[in-house]
Structure 1
Amino acid sequence: MNALTFPPLRLTDPAMFGRVGVLLGGTSSERNVSLDSGRNVIEALRSRGVDAIAVDGIPALALALVEKRFDRVFNILHGHNGGGEDGIVQGLMEAFGVPYTGSDVLGSALSMDKIRTKQVWLSHGLPTPRFIALDQASDVHAAAAELGLPVVVKPANEGSSVGISRVVEEAGLDEAVALAVRYDGQLLMEQMVVGDELTVAILGDQALPSIRIVPKGQWYDYNAKYIAEDTQYLCPGLEGEDEIEIRRLALAAFRAAGCRGWGRVDVMRDRSSGRFYLLEVNTAPGMTSHSLVPKSASQAGIGFEELVWRVLEQTLPGHAAQEHSHA
């Protein structure tokens, strides 16, 4: 199952990349994670001789684009509203003709909207938990009754487990909604899948080994993701046909959402039925010490520095990642 083969690196001379702007930080709710990711990316690029500079946030990016300060951008800006995963910075870079890593405008904007991503998946016959989109006027108790408890309530446009509540009893619904409405956009209520939490990294046109996440506590929340040191990551997360199937499903989900280059697809596996359910796509995944894409790449024989280099290579003309954007 781990016999993934990767093409040889296209460049060996770091000077061929020119100057690389590493877009990080920003003003989204995921700023701190992005700063950490960005520091790691810059360190990895510089260790291989790439001329990489930090660019903190969208206003700084806009100024640098006007002043033609770099030749390409490694986007590691997380989230939206000042983050780099909602299509806005992609549109800005397209307008200036500067190549950048990751998904294009459509793939980024769609993936940031969990509701519309799920609608696209359903149109492709891909499995995702039953859900109801909520707005301020919605009757959350009626929605929970329709789906059946337990449910998950979350903002439709946030990442990193921001604003998410798992509601097992009806008494917890109002508090869950009060937390989620702190973030703008629609809310999403979905049936909670009880089972294994898995994630599959995508690099180019391949799904890397899955990771099964086993938090010490009951849930894989923000603390378990970024702070706790006792979360277990089992890679590969599954065996045999199950591992083949989750990778196939993740790649299909990534492509259906119009994504390209690299990313991560989060999946739940129902404990009672063994069925997989797609949750969301991350188009600029974390690259911190706790992050999952580097763990998965390492299992496939790709170290952190090589991973960063391969992602940056996707900004070169004629790269397959740029041609898969609407496959």
Structure 2
Amino acid sequence: MRVAVVWNSDFTGVINRFGQPYPQPPQPWPHYGAITKSVMAALQEGGHETLLCEGDKELLATLQGFMPPDPQARPSGLVFNLAEGIQGEYRFTHVPAMLEMAGVPYTGSSPLGHGLTDDKVISKTLMRSCGVPTPNFRVMRSGTESTEGLRFPVVVKPRHEDNSFGLQLVHEPAKLTQAVEMIITQYAQDALVEEYIDGREIHVALLGNREIEVLPLAEIDFGERETRLLTWEAKYLAAVQPPTICPAQVESSLATLLQDIAVATFRACQCRDYARVDLRIDRSGQPFV
């Protein structure tokens, strides 16, 4: 089968600059390229014909040349979607939407699923409506809004970003305004302020749709680190990154609870094919997404 692996590596293939651009890190992170190479290698090992292409304005023309239309209107290939988008708050939705319009099958979530999970406020609201535990939060536009009912410390992050962009741990209300202003100035969007859950961090990877397979749980080993939080700096700039333990050592009843919560989150947020749900477990053993 012909499989086009679509990613974003240069973020320049647009007609105009419009909306919030994808945040550019201080230095390129190596894991994205490594993941892409691994996917390409696995597909080729499976006997598939592959093409690596940019998820930009030239994408459909590139795909039409690689997998030309079938006379019987059957797709002659598919896209393995690794694209993160170029610009706009909902940039993760752009490549799936283009592919659906053009009639090209692809892996991963639909534009709806990406749109729901790109907005942390919407996804947290959906999770709560399905009984999924998630930390208390506020949406802030200035940092001077009421924090009544919020327990400090809190985590401050952009409403729409991923990859720990802008993630900050704030220990006292007096420092909150500065943290929120940084989000608004640097990312041009609301700040999500949610209670910090001090404890273990477990990642649950899921595969499937109607029948969902839960892959082995993974735990971030913070060791003796003072800040037990995966900020951008901790992920990509620190001399030593926190290691991941997989499979995580989790008691069976807690593991079952984590798996159930992860599957409920997957369904609440309209995910498809695969996803990862990150959970924190507080000192009493209560998990939160």
Scaled by the length of structure 2, what TM-score is found?
Answer: 0.80
Equivalent residue, structure 2, for 1:56? 54
Q: Does 1:276 align with 2:287?
A: yes
1:210 corresponding residue in structure 2:
217
Higher relative contact order (CA closer than 8 Å, sequence separation 6+): 1
Alignment partners' CA distance in 1, 2:203 and 2:85: 18
Aligned partner (choices 94, 107, 110) of residue 104 of structure 1: 110
Distance 1:21 1:84, change over 3 A: farther
Residues 79 and 89 of structure 1, relative CA distance in 2, 3 Å threshold: closer
CA deviation after TM superposition for structure 1 residue 159, in Å? 0.7
The structure 1 segments of at least 4 consecutive aligned residues displaced by more than 6 Å after TM superposition are: 82-85
Superimposed CA distance per residue, residues 48-105 of structure 1 (whole angstroms, 9 cap, x where no aligned partner): 332111112322323324x342321111123672799732211111111111110111
Between structure 1 and structure 2, the one with the greater Rg is: 2
> How do residues 1-327 of structure 1 correspond to structure 2 at under 5 angstroms?
17=1, 19-26=2-9, 27=11, 28-29=22-23, 32=29, 33-65=31-63, 67-70=64-67, 71-78=77-84, 81=87, 86-135=92-141, 138=142, 140-181=143-184, 182-204=186-208, 205-215=212-222, 217=225, 218=227, 219-226=229-236, 229-237=240-248, 238-271=250-283, 273-278=284-289
Which deviates more, 19-28 or 152-161? 19-28
Question: Aligned letter for 2:234?
Answer: A
Point out the structure with the larger helix share. Answer: 1
Does the C-alpha gap of structure 1 residues 85 and 239 become closer, same or farther in structure 2, counting only changes over 3 Å? farther
How far apart, in 1, do the equivalents of 2:279 and 2:160 lie? 18
Shift in CA distance, 88/115, structure 1 to aligned 2, threshold 3 Å: same
Root-mean-square deviation (Å): 2.3
Percent sequence identity is 34
Q: Cα distance, 1:245 vs. partner?
A: 0.8
Aligned residues: 256
**Per-residue CA distance 1:202-231 (angstroms, 9 max, x = gap):** 011112122111235322222433455442
**TM-aligned CA distance change 1:171 to 1:36, over 3 Å:** farther
Runs of at least 5 residues in structure 1 that lack an aligned partner in the other structure: 1-16, 279-327
**Pair 79,111 (structure 1): closer, same or farther in 2 beyond 3 Å:** farther
Shift of 1:276: 0.8
SS at match of 1:144: coil
2:246 & 2:268 partners in 1: Cα distance? 25
